[in-house]
Protein backbone atom coordinates (compact mmCIF):
# COMPACT_ATOMS: atom_id res chain seq x y z
CA UNK A 1 0.00 0.00 0.00
CA UNK A 2 1.39 3.39 -1.01
CA UNK A 3 1.99 5.96 1.73
CA UNK A 4 -0.58 8.74 1.86
CA UNK A 5 -0.05 12.48 2.01
CA UNK A 6 0.14 14.08 5.45
CA UNK A 7 -2.36 16.88 5.99
CA UNK A 8 -1.37 20.08 7.80
CA UNK A 9 -3.61 22.85 9.06
CA UNK A 10 -1.87 26.22 8.80
CA UNK A 11 -2.85 29.66 9.99
CA UNK A 12 -0.75 32.32 8.29
CA UNK A 13 -0.65 35.87 9.58
CA UNK A 14 1.00 37.96 6.88
CA UNK A 15 2.24 41.51 7.31
CA UNK A 16 3.96 42.42 4.04
CA UNK A 17 5.07 46.04 4.34
CA UNK A 18 6.70 45.89 0.89
CA UNK A 19 3.36 45.23 -0.84
CA UNK A 20 1.03 46.77 1.75
CA UNK A 21 -0.64 43.38 2.25
CA UNK A 22 -1.95 42.50 5.73
CA UNK A 23 -4.14 39.44 5.93
CA UNK A 24 -4.69 36.10 7.68
CA UNK A 25 -5.08 32.86 5.72
CA UNK A 26 -6.38 29.49 6.87
CA UNK A 27 -4.79 26.76 4.74
CA UNK A 28 -5.04 23.01 4.53
CA UNK A 29 -1.84 21.72 3.01
CA UNK A 30 -1.08 18.19 1.84
CA UNK A 31 2.53 17.07 2.11
CA UNK A 32 3.39 14.43 -0.49
CA UNK A 33 5.16 11.38 1.06
CA UNK A 34 8.33 12.24 -0.89
CA UNK A 35 8.32 15.90 0.21
CA UNK A 36 10.49 17.07 3.10
CA UNK A 37 9.30 19.43 5.82
CA UNK A 38 11.74 22.06 4.54
CA UNK A 39 10.32 21.91 1.02
CA UNK A 40 6.79 22.26 2.33
CA UNK A 41 7.90 25.35 4.24
CA UNK A 42 9.37 26.78 1.00
CA UNK A 43 5.88 26.41 -0.50
CA UNK A 44 4.43 28.32 2.47
CA UNK A 45 7.11 31.00 2.10
CA UNK A 46 6.20 31.45 -1.57
CA UNK A 47 2.55 31.70 -0.59
CA UNK A 48 3.31 34.36 2.03
CA UNK A 49 5.49 36.39 -0.36
CA UNK A 50 2.78 36.38 -3.07
CA UNK A 51 -0.38 36.10 -0.96
CA UNK A 52 -3.65 37.25 -2.44
CA UNK A 53 -7.27 36.16 -2.31
CA UNK A 54 -6.88 34.15 -5.53
CA UNK A 55 -3.49 32.49 -4.89
CA UNK A 56 -3.93 28.76 -4.30
CA UNK A 57 -2.11 25.47 -4.13
CA UNK A 58 -2.86 23.18 -7.06
CA UNK A 59 -2.49 19.42 -7.36
CA UNK A 60 1.08 20.22 -8.56
CA UNK A 61 3.08 17.17 -7.48
CA UNK A 62 0.32 14.86 -8.71
CA UNK A 63 -0.49 16.68 -11.96
CA UNK A 64 2.26 17.11 -14.52
CA UNK A 65 0.82 20.12 -16.32
CA UNK A 66 0.27 22.44 -13.34
CA UNK A 67 2.48 24.41 -10.99
CA UNK A 68 2.22 23.65 -7.30
CA UNK A 69 1.13 27.20 -6.51
CA UNK A 70 -0.70 29.53 -8.84
CA UNK A 71 -2.99 32.48 -9.22
CA UNK A 72 -5.63 32.43 -11.92
CA UNK A 73 -7.80 35.24 -13.24
CA UNK A 74 -11.59 35.07 -13.12
CA UNK A 75 -11.60 33.79 -16.71
CA UNK A 76 -9.06 31.04 -15.95
CA UNK A 77 -5.89 32.64 -17.32
CA UNK A 78 -2.79 31.87 -15.27
CA UNK A 79 -1.56 35.15 -13.76
CA UNK A 80 1.21 33.68 -11.58
CA UNK A 81 2.96 30.30 -11.86
CA UNK A 82 5.27 29.36 -8.96
CA UNK A 83 7.86 26.58 -9.13
CA UNK A 84 10.26 25.18 -6.53
CA UNK A 85 13.76 23.72 -6.55
CA UNK A 86 16.15 23.75 -9.48
CA UNK A 87 13.78 23.42 -12.42
CA UNK A 88 15.03 22.66 -15.87
CA UNK A 89 14.89 25.26 -18.62
CA UNK A 90 12.28 23.38 -20.68
CA UNK A 91 9.81 23.38 -17.81
CA UNK A 92 10.37 27.10 -17.13
CA UNK A 93 9.94 27.87 -20.84
CA UNK A 94 6.58 26.10 -20.76
CA UNK A 95 5.55 27.99 -17.61
CA UNK A 96 6.66 31.32 -19.12
CA UNK A 97 4.58 30.67 -22.22
CA UNK A 98 1.44 29.78 -20.26
CA UNK A 99 1.53 32.41 -17.53
CA UNK A 100 1.74 36.17 -17.23
CA UNK A 101 4.39 35.88 -14.48
CA UNK A 102 6.59 32.97 -13.28
CA UNK A 103 8.55 32.72 -10.04
CA UNK A 104 11.06 30.04 -9.14
CA UNK A 105 12.07 29.52 -5.51
CA UNK A 106 15.42 27.77 -5.76
CA UNK A 107 16.91 26.09 -2.72
CA UNK A 108 19.55 23.47 -2.11
CA UNK A 109 22.54 25.26 -0.63
CA UNK A 110 25.76 25.05 -2.62
CA UNK A 111 24.01 23.34 -5.54
CA UNK A 112 22.02 26.48 -6.39
CA UNK A 113 24.98 28.61 -7.63
CA UNK A 114 26.12 25.70 -9.80
CA UNK A 115 22.60 25.23 -11.22
CA UNK A 116 22.31 29.00 -11.78
CA UNK A 117 25.67 29.18 -13.59
CA UNK A 118 24.55 26.38 -15.92
CA UNK A 119 21.11 27.92 -16.62
CA UNK A 120 21.46 31.70 -16.30
CA UNK A 121 22.01 32.44 -20.01
CA UNK A 122 19.09 30.27 -21.13
CA UNK A 123 16.74 31.77 -18.52
CA UNK A 124 17.62 35.39 -19.31
CA UNK A 125 15.32 35.33 -22.35
CA UNK A 126 12.22 34.75 -20.21
CA UNK A 127 11.20 38.30 -19.36
CA UNK A 128 8.34 37.18 -17.10
CA UNK A 129 10.56 34.95 -14.90
CA UNK A 130 11.81 35.89 -11.43
CA UNK A 131 14.24 33.56 -9.66
CA UNK A 132 14.81 33.53 -5.89
CA UNK A 133 17.51 31.69 -3.93
CA UNK A 134 16.42 30.82 -0.40
CA UNK A 135 19.45 30.54 1.93
CA UNK A 136 20.26 26.98 3.03
CA UNK A 137 20.32 27.78 6.76
CA UNK A 138 16.89 29.46 6.52
CA UNK A 139 15.47 26.41 4.73
CA UNK A 140 16.71 24.16 7.52
CA UNK A 141 15.39 26.46 10.26
CA UNK A 142 11.98 26.73 8.58
CA UNK A 143 11.78 22.92 8.47
CA UNK A 144 12.31 22.86 12.25
CA UNK A 145 9.09 24.87 12.74
CA UNK A 146 6.79 22.20 11.25
CA UNK A 147 3.92 20.78 13.31
CA UNK A 148 0.59 19.31 12.17
CA UNK A 149 -1.25 22.47 13.26
CA UNK A 150 0.89 25.53 12.60
CA UNK A 151 0.34 29.17 13.42
CA UNK A 152 2.93 31.14 11.48
CA UNK A 153 3.56 34.86 11.35
CA UNK A 154 5.33 36.29 8.31
CA UNK A 155 6.62 39.85 8.50
CA UNK A 156 8.15 41.12 5.28
CA UNK A 157 9.95 44.46 5.05
CA UNK A 158 12.62 45.70 2.64
CA UNK A 159 12.96 42.18 1.23
CA UNK A 160 13.74 40.71 4.64
CA UNK A 161 11.56 37.91 6.02
CA UNK A 162 10.82 37.29 9.69
CA UNK A 163 9.01 34.01 10.20
CA UNK A 164 7.91 33.10 13.69
CA UNK A 165 5.84 30.47 15.46
CA UNK A 166 5.57 29.13 18.99
CA UNK A 167 8.61 26.91 18.19
CA UNK A 168 10.96 29.78 17.30
CA UNK A 169 11.76 32.25 14.59
CA UNK A 170 13.81 32.59 11.41
CA UNK A 171 15.10 35.82 9.89
CA UNK A 172 16.59 35.92 6.38
CA UNK A 173 16.65 37.69 3.04
CA UNK A 174 16.03 35.60 -0.09
CA UNK A 175 18.52 36.47 -2.83
CA UNK A 176 17.10 37.59 -6.17
CA UNK A 177 19.01 35.80 -8.94
CA UNK A 178 16.82 37.16 -11.76
CA UNK A 179 14.18 39.88 -11.91
CA UNK A 180 11.25 39.76 -14.28
CA UNK A 181 10.90 42.76 -16.55
Over the stretch 59-78, which tens digit does the pLDDT of each residue have?
Answer: 755 556 789 999 999 999 99
Flag the least confident range among 63-77, 96-110, 163-177: 63-77
Tell me what the pLDDT averaged over the chain comes to: 94
CB < 8 Å & 24+ apart, contacts of 17-26 = 17/155, 17/156, 17/157, 17/158, 18/156, 18/157, 18/158, 18/159, 19/156, 21/51, 21/52, 23/51, 25/51
The neighbour count for residue 76, using CB atoms within 10 Å, is: 6
CA distance 179 to 181: 6
Domain extent listing, the chain: 6-178
pLDDT value at residue 40: 96
Let me know the angle formed at the C-alpha of 162 by 85 and 68, rounded to the nearest 5 degrees.
Answer: 30
pLDDT at residue 2 tops 70? no
The DSSP bridge pattern shows strands 129-133 and 6-16 to be unpaired
- Tens of pLDDT along 122-133? 999 999 999 999
Length, in residues, of the chain: 181
pLDDT value at residue 65: 75
We find that the CATH architecture of domain 6-178 is Roll (3.10)
Side-chain-side CA neighbours of 107 within 13 Å: the count stands at 23
pLDDT at residue 53 tops 90? yes
Amino acid sequence: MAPKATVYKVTLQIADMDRGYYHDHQLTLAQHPSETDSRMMIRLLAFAMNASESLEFSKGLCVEDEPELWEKSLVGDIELWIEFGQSDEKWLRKASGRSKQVQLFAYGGRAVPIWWQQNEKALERYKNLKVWNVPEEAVKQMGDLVTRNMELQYNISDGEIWLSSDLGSVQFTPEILKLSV
